Amino acid sequence: LVLEDIEALSHQVQSRLLKAINAQGDPSETRIIAICNLQEQGKTCEDVLRPDLYYRLASLRIELPPLRTRGEDILTLFTRYADQFAEEYGCDSPSVTAQEAAQLLQAPWPGNVRQLINVAERAVLQSRRGNGTIASLLMAEGDDDRPVMTTEGKPLKEYVEAFERMLIDNTMRRHRGSIASVMEELCLPRRTLNEKMAKYGLTRADYIG
């Protein structure tokens, strides 16, 4: 049983949920995953739930950092979802420039992965029509009273490395692990390509087949 936005439950519903949990004959028969999306500053899920319910649900806690703090994961996820949507719509996946990669990394992503999935799908549709930019999508996603780019600065090296990894990963997948084709497209000698793949944890075997 997955309970999303558990923090939104009224005290009455919390009481009924706790009663139902306690009434189980065998607790192992039902596994409950409670998802708390509380983002108000200074508040946690523990603050808004009944203590008895909170401690029944919090036997195992997994904390996921917001997408905006996850560095190159943003580009990796964007690429994967864009590829999925491109296959679904029968078109090529949109190419991402260095500037657009930096914009994706700097976006605040208040909607986290769900928002990223939405942007990836819209980027594919834009690419198929042959117009629009990722920057325009990010601006459309933002409210008028919220900055489009986050103020959490990162060293230039992080942006460069994240984009470099994404570029090699994309090229390897398009060429299905053909080292020669990747070397030719990226104008890299084999030794340099091997060193960068090792640096970013990329393995040729993952792209074959």
Shared domain for 131 and 192, answered yes or no, is yes
First vs last C-alpha separation in the chain: 37
* Residue-level pLDDT at 39: 63
* Per-residue confidence (pLDDT) for residue 62, from 0 to 100: 86
Residue 26: its pLDDT value, please?
66
- The predicted pLDDT at position 84 comes to 93
93 and 51 within one domain: no
- Check whether residue 128 and residue 179 sit in a common domain: yes
DSSP string for residues in 168-203: HHHHHHHTTT-HHHHHHHHT--HHHHHHHHHHTT--
> Token match 């919390």: residue?
14
- Boundaries of domain holding 38: 2-57
Q: What is the pLDDT of residue 121?
A: 94
Q: Is 62 contained in some domain?
A: no
Q: Report the amino acid identity of residue 92.
A: D
Predicted pLDDT of residue 14: 92
Report the number of distinct structural domains present in the chain.
2
> In terms of domains, do 179 and 77 share one?
yes
The tens place of each residue's pLDDT in the chain, 209 residues long, gives 899 889 889 999 999 999 988 887 666 677 889 988 876 666 788 888 999 999 888 888 888 888 888 888 898 899 999 999 999 999 888 888 777 888 888 888 888 899 999 999 999 998 888 877 787 787 766 544 444 444 455 566 776 777 788 888 888 888 889 999 989 888 888 998 999 899 889 999 888 86
Q: Are 1 and 33 in contact (CB under 8 A)?
A: yes
- Torsion angles phi and psi, residue 78, rounded to 5: -60, -45
Residue 190 falls inside a structural domain: yes
On whether the pTM is more than 0.75, the answer is no
Q: Are residues 202 and 107 in the same domain?
A: yes
Say if residue 148 is exposed, middle or buried (CB neighbours under 10 Å; 0-12, 13-18, 19+): middle
φ, ψ of residue 34 to 5 degrees: the values are: -105, 125
In a domain, residue 63? The reply is: no
